Amino acid sequence: MTEPRVAVHATGPAIAVTALLSQAGSADPDGGKLLQGLAIIGAAAAGGTWHALPSVSSSSALLLPSTAYVRLVAGSQPGTATLTLAGWDQTLGTADQLFDITSTGGASAFSTASTKVSIAI
């Protein structure tokens, strides 16, 4: 998935988690409950920074509900910023907190598949 370009020295628009879920075509195989959020498991911001995003990994994923937003703040150099995301059905974990999602798929609250969002700076 690719989001619109962010100009150097600019703050990008807020990107709704609902938009990211929609673009990813997420679905929940364990009982039909739609994914209601995302787990951010990777972040890179060559040429910028992700606003208010702590260090993340699959063992320390940031859980965001569908009502949340993410935002990129571009730096002075061109580059590409990425987020790696997994679906989250909110049956385990707490929104806006870090959580270990190394157990995924099946009846887990987290999708096995992940997707990347890229923004050019």
Residue ranges of alpha helices (H) inside 4-109 are 17-24
Q: Do 95 and 65 contact (CB within 8 A), yes or no?
A: yes
pLDDT, tens only, 22-79: 776 655 555 555 558 999 999 998 888 999 899 999 999 999 999 999 999 988 888 8
CA angle 16, 44, 49 (to 5 degrees): 70
Name, in order, each residue with C-beta under 8 angstroms of 34's C-beta and a sequence gap of 6 or more.
26, 27, 28, 89
Instruction: Tell me what pLDDT residue 85 has.
Output: 93
Rounded CA separation 58/38 (Å) = 12
Kindly report the average pLDDT of the chain as a whole number: 86
pTM of the complete model:
0.86
Tell me how many helices (H) and strands (E) the chain has.
Answer: 1, 10
Domain positions in the chain:
2-120
